[in-house]
Structure 1
Amino acid sequence: MSAININTNNFQSEVMDSEKPVLLDFWASWCGPCRMVVPIIEEIGEERSDIVVGKVNVEEQQDLARQFRVMSIPTLVVIKDGKVVNRSVGAKSKDEILAML
């Protein structure tokens, strides 16, 4: 499954209620490093059926960005059982992202 767009309407069901670990990518269209990470995030979403991969556009979802205290993008957050277990700021390689899981 490819990465899904996360917003305030589906956040509870797709992220907090997920039985699988969730990788969230906080991004914006104008962000150069974010554009470098997007293809990697999409690829991980296609390859890994054991996790949920979501993208959060910080301009459209400012409440979620505030909730996760996103100050710089891209910010990657791993959530398991409704709790943040890992987070990283800045562009990462595929191996570095997979290691977060």
Structure 2
Amino acid sequence: MATKKITDASFEADVLKSDKPVLVDFWAEWCGPCKMIGPSLEEISGERDDVIIAKINIDENPEAPTRFGVRGIPTMILFRNGEAQATKVGALPKQQIASWIDDALL
């Protein structure tokens, strides 16, 4: 499964009302570190079916990052049952992202 592109308009349905945990990657086109973690998130998305990996472009969708206090990017927030469970700011190697997801889902 590829990463899911979401918007401010779809955030409620795609993230907060999801029956699976959703990792939301807050990113922007001009952000180098965001581009670095993109392929890792695609790979994780293809390897796991217990979590949905979603991306939201903060330039096109300013409401969600403001609502969840995103100050720097990339910021990844893991949501479960409509609640933000864990937050990670900055680019990480794939294995660290996967471990962070595992820890957050315990």
- Is the TM-score greater than 0.5? yes
How many angstroms apart in 2 are the aligned matches of 1:83 and 1:96?
A: 22
TM-score, normalization by structure 1: 0.95
Structure 2 gaps of 5+ residues are 102-106
What does residue 100 of structure 2 align with? Answer: 100
The two structures have a TM-score, normalised by structure 2, of 0.90
Residue correspondences, number: 101
SS in 1 for 2:8: coil
Cα distance in 1 for residues equivalent to 2:81 and 2:48:
18
Gaps (5+ residues) in structure 1?
Answer: none
How far off its partner does 1:9 sit?
Answer: 2.0
How high is the sequence identity, in percent, across the aligned residues?
40
In the alignment, which residue of structure 2 is the partner of 1:91? 91
Report the structure, 1 or 2, having the larger helix content: 2
Task: Indicate the SS of the match to 1:95.
Answer: helix
**Residues 78 and 100, structure 1, Cα contact 8 Å, conserved in 2:** no
Equivalent pair of 2:20/2:51 in contact (CA under 8 Å): yes
Deviation at 1:79, TM superposition (A): 0.6
